Amino acid sequence: MTSAGPPGPAVHGMFVDEIDVFVKGGDGGAGCVSFRREKYVPYGGPDGGDGGNGGSIWLEAAPALTTLLDFHYRRHYHAERGTHGQGSNRHGANGADLILKVPLGTVVADRDTGERLGDLTVPGQRILAIRGSRGGRGNARFATSTNQAPRRADLGRPGPERWLHLELKLLADVGVIGFPNAGKSTLVSRLSAARPKIADYPFTTLEPTLGLVRADDDRSFVIADLPGLIPGAADGKGLGHQFLRHTERTRLLLHMLDLDPMTGRDPLDDLQVIDGELAAYSADLAGRPQIIVANKADLPDGAPNRERVERHCAAHGLPLFVISAVTGSGLTDLVRGVASRLASLSAPEAGAPASPPASGTGRPGARTR
């Protein structure tokens, strides 16, 4: 018996970053009870073949995928069962493996026990989701000197099953954080070929956007535009808390502050609030290196806020870049500063590719979904 069903996935627009899926290994084929029947052979021996092994289910990291959306439309997966054994010592065929493609950065865990099965961070890396069952033995396996005509064979074992929890954490070197409308999407669109949706209302960014930024001929980095955070985000308010997990893999955070006085917010208060939300979500995340980016420096009325931010960063030893994402002012220095800072940071840990599924089941190929 399985549970009634998983909770609904985290769906934001068409971006799915967390979901539960059901997997079941293939059933083993039944062994066969059979005896040779040959002319002029008065005593035919047992020749029942074994049943085939059931197929296994594997998860494989695919660079072409960026979301778990496919699993939103199909939640149950069953590997192929092994076929039954036959007479004349003919063994049943093994069931084919089923390979499910997931995006890079997918963390796999058992939904019910919470056991972490692996972290798919390398293209082609595989994790065994569920193994197929062994096929039953035919009666030829039970022949002995005292029992030369066994009428016994094993039934194939049913395949094991369980629910998996898949959680996507984007692989990016740099994460851009800040209040809604601070200019994060505009910055990413100016630095890379990414084209996030940009508009003048709260929560324009409904899903993370990745972009590749080239600093020079030898240096480049991946930047992620994350939805804006608001007070209480770590407790589930707004949209930003849905994507705090995507900052966990970043090596560097760009903390954008809005210098526009017309917003009615204080950029230094914003800085304190967002840092508080990071700390509430994860102590490790709160300690992640940051670069402060003061945006909208092209606005004449923003000069007082700019001076206050500059004094604060100088007093606390915080790296600061003053830019205008709209006009492009200061972006060249920012890109060079980010690339230099990344060069001084250790590379994120990545899992090693797993061996392809071949040894356990002895089958020639596998099905790919």
State the CATH number of the domain containing residue 77. Answer: 2.70.210.12
Confidence of residue 206 (pLDDT cuts 50, 70, 90): very low
* Nearest by Cα to 360 from 36, 57, 92, 9: 57
Final residue belonging to a domain, choices 168, 186, 220: 168
Supply angle C-alpha 117, 122, 127, rounded to 5.
30
Flag whether pLDDT at 99 surpasses 50: yes
| 265, 160: one domain | no
354 pLDDT band (50/70/90 cuts)? very low
Q: What single letter denotes the amino acid at residue 19?
A: I
Label residue 323 by pLDDT band (50, 70, 90).
very high
Among candidate residues 145, 168, 191, the one where a domain is terminated: 168
Residue that finishes a domain, picked among 137, 168, 199: 168
**103/66 same-domain check:** yes
If you average pLDDT over residues 272-292, what whole number do you get?
A: 85
Report residue 160's pLDDT band, with 50, 70 and 90 as the boundaries. very high
Residue 366 belongs to some domain of the structure: no
Residue 243's domain spans which residues? 174-343
- Evaluate whether residue 26 is within a structural domain: yes
20 confidence band (pLDDT: 50, 70, 90): very high
Question: 204 and 339 share a domain?
Answer: yes
**Overall average pLDDT of the 255-262 stretch:** 91
36 touches 172 (CB < 8 A): no
Same domain flag for 190 and 156 = no
Domain identity same for 144 and 88: yes
pTM: 0.67
The 3-class SS string of the chain reads CCCCCCCCCEEECCEEEEEEEEEECCCCCCCCCCECCCCCCCCCCECCCCCCCCCCEEEEECCCCCCCHHHHHCCEEECCCCCCCECCCECCCCCCEEEEEECCCEEEEECCCCCEEEEECCCCCEEEEECCCCCCCCHHHHCCCCCCCCCCCCCCCCCCEEEEEEEECCCCCEEEEECCCCCHHHHHHHHCCCCCCCCCCCCCCCCCEEEEEECCCCCEEEEEECCCCCCCHHHCCCCHHHHHHHHCCCCEEEEEEECCHHHCCCHHHHHHHHHHHHHHHCHHHHCCCEEEEEECCCCHHHHHHHHHHHHHHHHHCCCEEECCCCCCCCHHHHHHHHHHHHHCCCCCCCCCCCCCCCCCCCCCCEEEC
Q: What is the CATH number of the domain that holds 233?
A: 3.40.50.300
Check residue 229 and give its pLDDT.
59
Same domain, 131 and 2: yes
Q: Quick one: 186 and 296 in the same domain?
A: yes
Whether residues 163 and 216 share a domain: the answer is: no
Q: Is the pLDDT of residue 188 over 90?
A: no
Domain annotation covers residue 162: yes
Is the pLDDT score of 259 beyond 80? yes
In a domain, 328, yes or no: yes
In a domain? residue 225? yes
pLDDT at 3 exceeding the cut of 80: no
Q: Are 209 and 112 found together in one domain?
A: no
- Tell whether 298 and 219 lie within a shared domain: yes
The mean per-residue pLDDT over the stretch 61-66 comes to: 84
Phi, psi of 238 (to 5 degrees): 70, -160
Question: How many domains does the structure of the chain reveal?
Answer: 2
Is residue 227 in a domain?
A: yes
361 within domain boundaries: no
pLDDT: which is higher, 224 or 34: 34
Q: What is the mean pLDDT of residues 354-365?
A: 41
pLDDT, the chain, mean:
81
Q: Do 10 and 101 lie in a common domain?
A: yes
Q: Is residue 149 part of a domain?
A: yes
- Contact (Cβ atoms closer than 8 angstroms) between residue 363 and residue 96: yes
Q: Are residues 237 and 332 in the same domain?
A: yes
Average pLDDT of 282-303?
A: 88
